A = this chain, B = another copy of it.
């Protein structure tokens, strides 16, 4: 059995509350008693019971991070940073996956373990609206992703702008048959929608007619899903000039299929991704992509979350972090709007 404040108190010859005072350090304790208590703490190897503390204080020191699928490198990198930043601030992180079933997001936001966690960082799959369209009593919460609403704190990126910039950069090489991979058929992914929008805007900008056939659907945002979708596409259509994949994972699957079918990247077809995950940088050829500082995302998300925990009625804030077009070998030399 673990020692409790009571045990420590008995051993040190003081009251439980004094032990608590020593442990928490908020109430002044005389040097003499502090020494006694600290000795007892060490001898009994005291560890506070966080359930009890959570019950008493109403805060547990644990936040939840909800994302579609932890196995996706992008999610994993993001989670890594959130865990790291949270830990630096003394928070534990409980991971929830929402990918399998769409109801899970809703459940998390409304009921769920709401009392074992002090707050929620949510990377939504579906249209963000679905999750946050909840009447009262939201837990302290920050959304990650596209900035598209004003009711909940959010840290995101201008996906439309980024997708547009990438598409324009591809078009800047003179290529005209620019395909996108990752458009979703069935249930809508917020991310897919906004990136598709950026792509279409860029085509307009560049005066390239929009060809719906070049929007390649792919429900599953993994290399496997991408490979299947692209192989299927190539069986029916001619090779496009350029391929903008909505995530690096999709692009990695695409590069694999292109290599296997003997198409040279970037000579025959440019390939670009989105997210800047580690494996994309080391893909063959290295992947051109949109990069966002994930550590900064985590830091900002946690900052907003702690602010929200401190003041639950502060006006919601939406942050759009800067992004960067990173050019690597998979597109040869292209240039963003700056050049």
Q: Tell me the smallest distance from the CB of A11 to a CB of chain B, in Å.
A: 17
B2, A115: Cβ atoms under 8 Å?
yes
Q: Does A197 make an interface contact (CB < 8 A)?
A: no
Contact partner of A259 (CB less than 8 A), chosen from B49, B61, B76, B285, is B285
Residue from the set A110, A116, A283 with the largest chain B CB neighbour count within 10 Å:
A116
Contact with B along A55-85 (1 / 0, CB 8 A): 1000011100000011111011101100110
When chains A and B are docked, how far (Å) is the Cα of A132 from the Cα of B92?
A: 22
Contact with B along A109-134 (1 / 0, CB 8 A): 01111111000000000000000000
A95, B112: Cβ atoms under 8 Å?
no
When chains A and B are docked, how far (Å) is the Cα of A52 from the Cα of B56?
A: 9
- With A70-B80, A112-B47 known to touch, is A94 a contact of B97 (CB < 8 Å)? no
Residues of B within 8 A of A249 (CB): 278-279
Within 137-179 of A, Cβ neighbours of B (below 8 Å) are at 137
A60, B71: Cβ atoms under 8 Å?
no
Within 9-58 of A, Cβ neighbours of B (below 8 Å) are at 45, 47-52, 54-55
B87, A97: Cβ atoms under 8 Å?
yes
Q: Does A93 make an interface contact (CB < 8 A)?
A: yes
A80, B97: Cβ atoms under 8 Å?
yes
- With A95-B95, A116-B51 known to touch, is A253 a contact of B282 (CB < 8 Å)? yes
- With A47-B112, A54-B51, A94-B93 known to touch, is A256 a contact of B278 (CB < 8 Å)? no
Number of copies of chain A assembled together = 2
- With A2-B115, A70-B76 known to touch, is A227 a contact of B282 (CB < 8 Å)? yes
Q: Tell me the smallest distance from the CB of A236 to a CB of chain B, in Å.
A: 21
When chains A and B are docked, how far (Å) is the Cα of A9 from the Cα of B71?
A: 43
Residue from the set A45, A77, A95, A256 with the largest chain B CB neighbour count within 10 Å:
A95
Residues of B within 8 A of A222 (CB): 278
Q: Does A218 make an interface contact (CB < 8 A)?
A: no
Contact with B along A280-307 (1 / 0, CB 8 A): 0111111000000000000000000000
- With A114-B2, A115-B51, A259-B285 known to touch, is A71 a contact of B278 (CB < 8 Å)? yes
Contact partner of A283 (CB less than 8 A), chosen from B62, B69, B111, B256, is B256
Query: Which residue of chain B is the closest to A257 with respect to CB atoms?
Result: B282
When chains A and B are docked, how far (Å) is the Cα of A62 from the Cα of B70?
A: 18
B80, A71: Cβ atoms under 8 Å?
yes
B279, A223: Cβ atoms under 8 Å?
yes
When chains A and B are docked, how far (Å) is the Cα of A45 from the Cα of B279?
A: 44
Contact with B along A95-113 (1 / 0, CB 8 A): 1110010000000001111
29 examples of A-B residue contacts, CB within 8 angstroms: A2-B137, A47-B111, A51-B55, A51-B60, A54-B54, A62-B94, A70-B83, A71-B73, A73-B73, A73-B76, A73-B279, A76-B76, A76-B79, A83-B95, A84-B97, A84-B100, A92-B96, A94-B94, A222-B278, A223-B282, A224-B278, A224-B282, A252-B279, A253-B282, A255-B284, A256-B281, A259-B285, A283-B284, A284-B284
